[in-house]
Structure 1
Amino acid sequence: MAPVHAPAPRHRTALSVNVNKVALLRNTRHLGIPDVLRAAELCLEAGAQGITVHPRPDERHIRKDDVYELAALMKDWPDREFNVEGNPLQNLMEFVRNLSARGLPLHQCTFVPDSEGQFTSDHGWSFPQDAARLTPLIEEAHDRGVRVSLFMDPLPEAMAAAKAVGADRVELYTETYARAWGTPEQDKALEPFVFAGRAAAAIKLGVNAGHDLNRDNLADFLRAVPGVLEVSIGHALIADALELGYGATVAAYLRCIDAAFEPDFGPE
């Protein structure tokens, strides 16, 4: 009998923990440590609303077996979400099809236009160039009951194009903001995200965000960009967990999210 877990605390923006870097460390030896499943479980126990993986074709970190084992784990957490990222023109649709065939949960797939050997994600989809390739794949994911998010640069004019091909959400690629945070360029770097968020809200397109968000810059981003439904955070969160532990780190990120929505009462 599956264990009964407490529901996740409610937050204005959901936190999905990307466990790729746990797998990257594990893969440097043949001992099975650190344990990717245990890392995910500890993050969920601490209140994370989801788990994200980005299995690349070369399996440099997350492997095929990890995806199916994590999906099986998520069955014990029915109020949490499993998000699988990747290029649907490479290996992502294999996971979408196989998870569905095995009756395993997959709540969201995030389409990312990475090349096979790409070091890390560094750009979003382009329209109208990518529209014809993406439309049937989005339809297939929908037919299997999976929400689709498109990894996108913060271009307000591209939000309508993402909606037109059937995307449920976009994940705004936040590296430019993260790089500018804490510098005189921070407000300027935030502007396109604010406008993209507004453009998405106007057409009822959901907004996620991710890439180089951390405990320092997360709250400022969420205060400025309207309606962010989910942030997917991996590198910084796992790096913090090396010092603080998974539970304390997830709690710290959830506090950042909550702080972004605390009312500003101004001076007394």
Structure 2
Amino acid sequence: MTALSVNLNKVAVLRNSRGGHEPDVVRAGRTCLDAGADGLTVHPRPDARHIRTDDVEALGALCRQRGMEFNIEGNPFAPPRPGYPGLLALCSAVRPAQVTLVPDSDGQLTSDHGFDFARDGAALRPLIEAFKRLGCRVSVFVDVGDPAVAQAAACGADRVELYTGPYAQAFASGSPEAALAAAAQTARLAQAAGLGVNAGHDLNQANLPAFLDAVPGVLEVSIGHALIGDALYAGLEATVRAYCAIAHAKR
């Protein structure tokens, strides 16, 4: 079974576009968990354009109350500033089950590439150690096809998250075979190094089954944009149940 973690960033985007408290991010998170999601994901950014520090704290409390996993994504190199205490400080306050490290720049619209371990590995090691001292499982964002993916283990990471954007594009174009083969090979390289494998970005109800059928041992998928989009038509509870049916299917 693959765990489904629902990314709530887009709910916060909608709220912030108008101001106030609606839609309520915590209520959305509660609905997702009630519908069968295995956990919740947020990616607070330094400019607070969607998920804010107070959201992280409230959702962390919700997951602790429910005994469910909370996953915080972010760039460990981004410095603190007013309104954003930094990723390590957020995790120190909330103690999520998992922190997923991504190499996003401040103004980046969305995550679209993995770490370069030759460039970033030495700097990542002490940061990963600091997150693990907080009791967090550490996953790092990686590109499918990266021959150095096993270096994530040398940096101290527990898991890698495969960036699935290129696969989603290939699936939409009708030719996903090469992308699936590359993802499967990258997963096997990571697993051979003792790393668990997560996946995320642009996964949806259409492309998720083929991905999970082809890529061995995916422990968790984090899905937000497509899931929240689907929920506009089918409702959040029904949509989460539909994604859970795919992720939880025996393979």
Alpha-carbon distance between aligned partners in 1 of 2:117 and 2:187, rounded to the nearest angstrom: 18
Superposed displacement of residue 246, structure 1: 1.4
From 114, 127, 130, give the equivalent of 2:120: 130
Structure 2 counterpart of 1:149 = 139
Superposed displacement of residue 185, structure 1: 2.2
Greater Cα offset, 174-183 or 86-95: 86-95
Alpha-carbon distance between aligned partners in 1 of 2:86 and 2:224, rounded to the nearest angstrom: 23
From 96, 102, 115, give the equivalent of 2:105: 115
Give identity over the alignment, percent. 55
**What is the DSSP-based 3-state SS (H/G/I as helix, E as strand, rest coil) of the residue aligned with 1:76?**
helix
Q: Report the CA distance shift for 1:155/1:211 in structure 2 as closer, same or farther (over 3 A).
A: same
Matched, 1:190 2:180: yes
Matched, 1:75 2:67: no
One-letter amino acid of the structure 1 residue matched with residue 188 of structure 2:
R
Consecutive unaligned residues of structure 1, counting only runs of 5 or more, are: 1-11, 263-268
Consecutive unaligned residues of structure 2, counting only runs of 5 or more, are: none
Alpha-carbon distance between aligned partners in 1 of 2:127 and 2:197, rounded to the nearest angstrom: 20
Greater Cα offset, 178-187 or 33-42: 178-187
Q: CA RMSD in A?
A: 1.5
**What is the DSSP-based 3-state SS (H/G/I as helix, E as strand, rest coil) of the residue aligned with 2:141?**
strand
Which structure has the larger Rg? 1
Q: Report the CA distance shift for 1:44/1:222 in structure 2 as closer, same or farther (over 3 A).
A: same
From 205, 221, 237, give the equivalent of 1:247: 237
Structure 1 counterpart of 2:202 = 212
One-letter amino acid of the structure 2 residue matched with residue 50 of structure 1:
G
Structure 1 counterpart of 2:33 = 44
What aligned pairs does 1:228-239 form with structure 2 within 5 A after superposition?
228-239=218-229
Q: How many residues align?
A: 247
Alpha-carbon distance between aligned partners in 1 of 2:117 and 2:131, rounded to the nearest angstrom: 20
One-letter amino acid of the structure 2 residue matched with residue 57 of structure 1:
P
TM-score (norm 2): 0.94
The answer to whether the 8 A contact 1:15-1:230 is kept is yes
Alpha-carbon distance between aligned partners in 1 of 2:52 and 2:116, rounded to the nearest angstrom: 28
Runs of 4 or more, structure 1, over 2 Å off, are: 91-100, 182-185
Structure 2 counterpart of 1:181 = 171
